[in-house]
Amino acid sequence: MDYSHIQKPELGYPYEFTLNELDAAQACVEAHGFAIVKNVLSDELVTELQQSVKQVIDPDDTLGEGNSFTHTSFIEHSPAMWKLFDHEPFMRAQRVFCQTEELTVNRTAAIIRNPGSAPLSWHSDFCGFSDGPPTSSGDILNRGPWPSGLWFYITGSHPKHGGLAVIEDSHVEDWEGPEGFQLTPDKRSFHRIGTEPESYVGFDIPGLVPLFTEPGDEIVFASRTYHSAFPNRIDRVRLSCGIGLRPRDYPLEAPWPLSEKAKAFKNGFPEHLQPLVKDYVGIDVEWRGEDAMMG
Question: Using one digit for the tens of pLDDT, what is the confidence trace for 191-217?
Answer: 999 999 999 999 999 999 999 999 999
Q: What value does the mean pLDDT take over residues 184-194?
A: 97
Q: Are 139 and 204 in contact (CB under 8 A)?
A: no
Is 295's pLDDT higher than 60? no
- What is residue 294's predicted lDDT score, i.e. its pLDDT? 41
DSSP the chain: ---TT------SS--EE-GGGHHHHHHHHHHHSEEEETT-S-HHHHHHHHHHHHHHH-TTS-S-TT-EEEETTGGGT-HHHHGGGG-HHHHHHHHHHTT-S-EEEEEEEEEEE-TTPPPPPPEE----S--SPP-BHHHHHT-SSS-SEEEE-TT-B-TTBT-EEEETTTTSTT---STTEEE-TTSSSEEETTS-S-----S--TTEEE--B-TTPEEEE-TT-EEEE--B-SSS-EEEEEEEEEETTS----SSPPPHHHHHHHHHS-GGGGGGTTT-----TT-B-HHHHH-
Task: Mark 88-112 as b/e (b = at least 16 C-beta within 10 Å).
Answer: ebbeebbebbbebeebbbbbbbbbb
Model confidence at 71, in pLDDT bands (50, 70, 90)?
A: very high
- What is the total residue count of the chain? 295
Average pLDDT, the chain: 95
- What is residue 8's predicted lDDT score, i.e. its pLDDT? 96
194: left (phi over 0), alpha (psi -120 to 50) or beta: left
Is 292's pLDDT higher than 70? no
Measured N-to-C along each axis, helices 22-32 and 88-97 cross at an angle, to the nearest 10 degrees, of 40
Model confidence at 291, in pLDDT bands (50, 70, 90)?
A: low
The CA-atom distances, in angstroms, between 28 and each of 33, 42, 68, 94, 167 are 7, 24, 31, 15, 13
- What is residue 293's predicted lDDT score, i.e. its pLDDT? 43
Q: What value does the mean pLDDT take over residues 112-120?
A: 97
Q: Are 146 and 193 in contact (CB under 8 A)?
A: no
- What is residue 130's predicted lDDT score, i.e. its pLDDT? 83
Residue 202 bridge partners (DSSP):
none
Model confidence at 97, in pLDDT bands (50, 70, 90)?
A: very high
Q: Are 153 and 237 in contact (CB under 8 A)?
A: no
Residue 288 bridge partners (DSSP):
136
CA atoms of 276 and 151, how far apart (whole Å): 18
Q: Per residue in 131-149, pLDDT tens?
A: 888 999 999 999 999 998 7
CA atoms of 229 and 205, how far apart (whole Å): 13
Is 2's pLDDT higher than 90? no
Q: Kindly state the percentage of the chain with pLDDT values over 70.
A: 98
The architecture of the domain spanning 16-171+210-294 is Sandwich (2.60)
Parallel, antiparallel, or unpaired for β 149-152 and 218-221?
A: antiparallel
